[in-house]
Amino acid sequence: MSDFTHGFWSLYVAGITIVSILACLLLLWFSGKAKAMTAHDNTTGHVWDGDLREMNNPLPRWWVWLFVITVVFALVYLALYPGLGTFKGSLAWSSTGQHAAEMQKGEEAIAPLYARFAAMKTEEIARDPQAMAIGERLFMNNCSQCHGSDARGSKGFPNLTDSDWLYGGAPDKIVETLTNGRMGNMPPLGAALGSADDVKNVAQYVLSLSGSPHDSVRAALGKSKFGVCAACHGNDGKGNPAVGAPNLTDDIWLHGYGEATIISMINNGKVNQMPAQADKLSPAQIQVLAAYVWGFSNKTAVASP
């Protein structure tokens, strides 16, 4: 694609466009000037099916003027709007500019509605039916593609309805996550642990932390090697919200369960990204959406008067 960023291509596109319009005008002019040989009855002498004769009638005037108007419209359009290579047109219109203007207009229209929520606490917003109706629409449009319409997630996408939060489930943390996004990164640790047997032992130890079925002998051997993992997950395996390290003791498996999955995770690592929403949603919208998400795992607090 870098070949098409040269200024030549802008001139090429503009030239092809102008030549095409001029060619249409020349075609129309020549068709009006050209004279066909005709017989005394105004036919060209071409006959089909025995009695179907080709007449030499001129083009209808309405068709000719419609053609001319179309060409004039094209020239005016290209003078006002982008169409000739990098020329932006005298109106300097762009789809990006129109989108930004429409977004600003929409935000101004809904600002009074969100102003009411700005003075409310997260718990109060989560109890407000109107706010939650808005939050549901925001969630469906921006979050459900990954977390599901029921917010229960799937493999690789966190369940938002339980109490397991990688970076913390406090309202301010949810706002932070929505605003800036998250980039989770577990580095490959197979080489740091040693042999393939050591990796398998650590995998068994990780299974033991949550009380999952495991080989107790291998788990005991893997405990000492778990120190490499403890830098993020902690010595007790309960994770670290500051870096998004999962709690390994709660039997919740974001990327899959079982020895083979854990071994693959240790050997290959994992990078997971939650995209930032600040470029799509206003701070007021993020506040309402955060309250809606917070309500999934705090139903008792939401239900309390």
> Measured between alpha carbons, how far is 250 from 233 in angstroms, rounded to an integer?
13
pLDDT at position 1:
45
* Chain mean position to CA 180: 15
pLDDT at position 3:
60
Class of domain 185-274: mainly alpha
* CATH among 3.40.1390.10, 1.10.3720.10, 1.10.260.40, 1.10.760.10 for 100-181+275-303: 1.10.760.10
pLDDT at position 262:
96
The pTM is what?
Answer: 0.71
pLDDT at position 2:
54
pLDDT at position 52:
85
> Measured between alpha carbons, how far is 177 from 169 in angstroms, rounded to an integer?
10
pLDDT at position 199:
96
pLDDT at position 235:
93
Whether the CB-CB separation of 184 and 273 falls below 8 Å is answered with: yes
Query: Can you list the residues of the chain whose pLDDT is less than 50?
Result: 1
Strands 182-186 and 270-274: antiparallel
pLDDT at position 37:
66
> Measured between alpha carbons, how far is 194 from 97 in angstroms, rounded to an integer?
56
Whether the CB-CB separation of 298 and 126 falls below 8 Å is answered with: yes
